[in-house]
Amino acid sequence: MAGHSHWAGIKHKKALIDSKRGKLWSKLSKAITIAVQGGGGDPDTNLRLRYAINDAKAVSMPKDNIERAIKKGTGELEGGVFEEVLYEGYGPGGVAVLCEILTDNRNRTAPEVRKIFEIAGGKLGATGCVAWMFERKGVAIIDPAQTDEESLLELAMEAGAEDVKTVDGKFELVCEPDNFGQVCQALEQANIATEMSEIHRIPNDTVDLDVATARKVLKMVDALDDHEDVQKVAANFNIPEDAMAELEAE
């Protein structure tokens, strides 16, 4: 069970049932605003914005909130100046961790993220200390009830995907970030919905964790994921099936 795939799935499910909607909507608003700043306020021509809006709608974010976030990005409303920052470090067991941040105040965000690392027994590192261990890839998770693997593989490859495989009972489609938009468009045109689709950082190698260390790493990743300025968390851990079974039984 690949750690990055499993964690992406856990995170997606967590988002759908997250009771802390205010914090979740705040994150999604930032994602919409930064997407507008990078490519304009029209979702028909700005794929990043379209996917950010889709993510917001998937968790019932009100239309007014979405429109307000767009206007912040276009400058029609104040409060839309965010920086995209990548924080890197190590967690328990030497696990490499990357946090994609959207913040309007680095001086506030950096010490808060550093504290999460330190409480977990990890350490926030210097720029570049672990980023080289990951590759940026477009990842889409698809329910097999919608299509068969052969048909999906043919569609995906024609659209520029690299691979389609089965992970945890779901189809996982992987592509280069530059091809992510056209791959997602091909899926939309074929009426194939994704359970999760995002640009994700995939580790080149993974570290197997025992139950005790896995418990600490998951607690740390949960804390990072819960921070309002952290948009995405990637880590190079793998939890073997026997350890995962024990954790799920707790």
Phi first, then psi, for residue 128 (nearest 5°) are 90, 0
Kindly report, residue by residue over 21-80, the tens digit of the pLDDT: 667 888 889 999 999 988 899 988 888 888 888 888 877 888 999 999 999 988 888 876
189: left (phi over 0), alpha (psi -120 to 50) or beta: alpha
Exposure of 238 in the CB half-sphere (CA atoms within 13 A): 11
pTM score, two decimals?
A: 0.79
Q: Rounded CA gap, 54 and 184, in Å?
A: 12
Average pLDDT over residues 112-133: 95
CATH numbers and ranges of domains, the chain: 3-74 (1.10.10.200), 83-125+205-248 (3.30.70.980), 133-203 (3.30.70.980)
Q: Is the pLDDT assigned to residue 102 strictly greater than 80?
A: yes
**Which residues lie closer than 8 Å to 48 by C-beta, 6 or more apart?**
35, 38, 39
Tokens 């998937």 identify what position? 58
Within 10 A of 235 (CB to CB), how many other CB atoms are there?
27
Exposure of 112 in the CB half-sphere (CA atoms within 13 A): 16
